[in-house]
Amino acid sequence: MQWPTRVDVIDVGLRDGLQSEAAFVPTDAKIALLNRLIDAGVRHIEATSFVSPRAVPQMADAAQVLAGARRVPGLVLSVLAPNAKGVERALQAGADEIVVFVSASESHNGKNLNRPVERSLQDIDEIAALTRGQQVKRKGAVAVAFGCPFEGDVDPDLLERIVARYAEHGFDGITLGDTTGMATPPLVERTVARLQQRFGNLPISLHFHNTRGIGLVNVMAGLRLGISTYEASLGGIGGCPFAPGATGNICTEDLLNLLHEMGIQTGIDLDRLVQAARLLEDIMGRPLPGQVMKAGPRSALHRLDSVCAAQG
Ligand code: COA
Ligand code: ZN
């Protein structure tokens, strides 16, 4: 089996991870985390979202967070933007990449964006016109791409229609979001293979949540299909405030541990990332779902005399 030799890991913890936190995380703390990610070698970070601050108060400081990033060569600061107003704010704040998003079900789109999918497709047209010819990269996300918490299985034709709209406008790639962890390996294979067949070389990123404990198994399915971009959250935090039962993204450190053990390069220093996850844990004030931050990477051995022998 041939895996990609290098994988682009996008950390989305500052956006997907924090957006459902009720208590406002101070802007300074967000900036400190962002710079820890950069120090650990993460070069693609979804740092915030330019959405309505009334819909998601946690993201009200989007422009300040971006302004606090330590810019290093090769860094791509990505942001979510749902409409023209969000895109204008994002451009003004100096985002390198804008991620537009639409759900593959009417129910979730209604909750998340307060409009029918058809209207969101028009928003894509408007955003495309606004960003055409600009330096900024454009990516199209599809939420609930592998299942909707309100409707169950999503219509593959609707998913394809949304992707087609992004492709028509020359977006740089798409992200398939498994918003509430409903993906399974066979579904990932079916969905991705269908899109690969229709859209050829349009780059696909995968965004899994570990809601049902199979997030990394779905990554394995993606790797087998040749997908080389995955989104994950520091410490495994995350969840959509507009989807019941949504829990954390796959954890970035746990993903790295897997990829590195498979001989796949990411350019990210796992030990430094674990330190960043510990800072996040201090900021959140509760244990995080990440497992490698508790157990250490596979290579971290314990001194023999650090544990007593079992004596009957
Ligand atoms: N940034 C800042 N403010 C925005 C905005 C943006 N991107 N988009 C809209 N607003 C403001 C408008 O200016 C308006 O303000 P006003 O009442 O003071 O004039 C208000 O929000 C309502 O605007 P409207 O266009 O009617 O939006 P809406 O109420 O139908 O909500 C969205 C639509 C898309 C703005 C909102 O549903 C949203 O932000 N959703 C994001 C959800 C999200 O982030 N989910 C998690 C990611 S998966
Ligand atoms: Zn998500």
Q: Please report, for the chain, the start and end positions of each structural domain, with discontinuous segments joined by +.
A: 8-306
Closest ligand 1 atom to 81 CA: 7
Which tokens hold the place of 73?
């060569």
Q: What is the mean pLDDT of residues 228-242?
A: 92
Q: How far is the CA of 167 from the centre of ligand 1 (A)?
A: 25
Question: Is the pLDDT confidence value at 7 over 90?
Answer: yes
Average pLDDT score, the chain = 96
Rounded Cα gap, residues 127 and 290, in angstroms: 36
Question: Is the pLDDT confidence value at 180 over 70?
Answer: yes
Q: What is the mean pLDDT of residues 108-129?
A: 98
User: What are the catalytic residues?
Assistant: 240
Instruction: Tell me the best of 51, 61, 112, 162 to mutate to test the pocket of ligand 1, counting ligand atoms within 8 Å of each CB and taking the most.
Output: 51
Nearest Cα residue to atom 46 of ligand 1: 240
Rounded Cα gap, residues 126 and 98, in angstroms: 14
Instruction: Tell me the best of 12, 52, 180 to mutate to test the pocket of ligand 1, counting ligand atoms within 8 Å of each CB and taking the most.
Output: 52
Q: How far is the CA of 300 from the centre of ligand 2 (A)?
A: 30
Question: Is the pLDDT confidence value at 239 over 80?
Answer: no
Residues within 5 Å of ion ligand 2 by Cβ? 16
Check: CB of residue 79 under 8 Å from CB of residue 97: yes
Which run of H or of E encompasses 156? helix 156-168
Nearest Cα residue to atom 32 of ligand 1: 113
Q: 149: Cβ below 6 Å to ligand 1? A: no
Question: What single DSSP character describes residue 270?
Answer: H
Angle at 261 between CA 35 and CA 301, to 5 degrees: 85
Reported as a single tens digit per residue, the pLDDT across 275-311 is 999 999 999 999 999 999 999 988 888 899 999 999 9
Task: Report the amino acid identity of residue 97.
Answer: E
Q: Nearest Cα to 278, choosing from 299, 291, 293, 298?
A: 293
Reported as a single tens digit per residue, the pLDDT across 63-78 is 999 999 999 999 999 9
Rounded Cα gap, residues 14 and 79, in angstroms: 10
Nearest Cα residue to atom 21 of ligand 1: 52
CATH number for the domain formed by residue range(s) 8-306: 3.20.20.70
Question: Is the pLDDT confidence value at 1 over 70?
Answer: no
Q: Nearest Cα to 58, choosing from 98, 20, 100, 85?
A: 20
Which tokens hold the place of 263?
């001989």
Check: CB of residue 117 under 8 Å from CB of residue 82: no
Q: How far is the CA of 169 from the centre of ligand 2 (A)?
A: 24
Which tokens hold the place of 163?
């992707």
Q: How far is the CA of 35 from the centre of ligand 1 (A)?
A: 28
Q: pTM for this structure?
A: 0.97
Q: Which bound ligand lies closest to the C-alpha atom of 177?
A: 2
Q: What is the mean pLDDT of residues 130-134?
A: 94
Instruction: At 19, give phi and psi (nearest 5°).
Output: -60, -25
Closest ligand 1 atom to 177 CA: 48
Q: 145: Cβ below 6 Å to ligand 1? A: no
